[in-house]
Amino acid sequence: MFYLELTTGLRRGELLALLWTDLNIKEKCLTVSKSVTRGKGELRVTEPKTRNSIRTVYIDDEAVRLLVQDRKNHPFSPYLFPSPVTGGMYGPDCVGRIHKKLLKRAGIEEHVRFHDLRRTFATMALQNGVDIKTVSGMLGHYSA
């Protein structure tokens, strides 16, 4: 989940809403068309933040390999990243708690938020020569 976040810049809710049917292994891409939010104590699947957020995101060979390998841990779940407790969707807050635990284990300051991984992706893409309009589209933004 964290590798995919760092290599795609998806919003947390978009990442958590991904189903196996959203992954095209042959074309190495994901269809982003929904998002998970928590409202009134319940998880809800909604449309993404903006119209431009519905998009196809291409992923690298390593992301495909990791996803296929991880699938062996939960072969019957429709979710790319199912909760190990419920088998259903992760709640957005749960991912934040996992992120904090990983940071602590790695000895990294805890004020780094999960959303900062999205920003890291954008910064790295720009530093590696991807133009701002392309990065904007990859992030699902309305404008650069």
The pLDDT of residue 136: 87
pLDDT tens digits, 72-115? 999 999 999 998 888 888 888 888 888 888 889 988 877 888 88
pLDDT band (50, 70, 90) for residue 125: confident
Q: Is the pLDDT of residue 67 over 90?
A: yes
User: Cα–Cα distance between 89 and 84 in angstroms, integer?
Assistant: 9
Q: b or e along 125-135 (b: 16 or more beta carbons within 10 Å of the residue's beta carbon)? A: beeeeeeeeeb
Mean pLDDT of the region 57-71: 95
Q: Per-residue pLDDT for 29 more than 90?
A: yes
- Residue 28 above 90 pLDDT? yes
The pLDDT of residue 15? 95
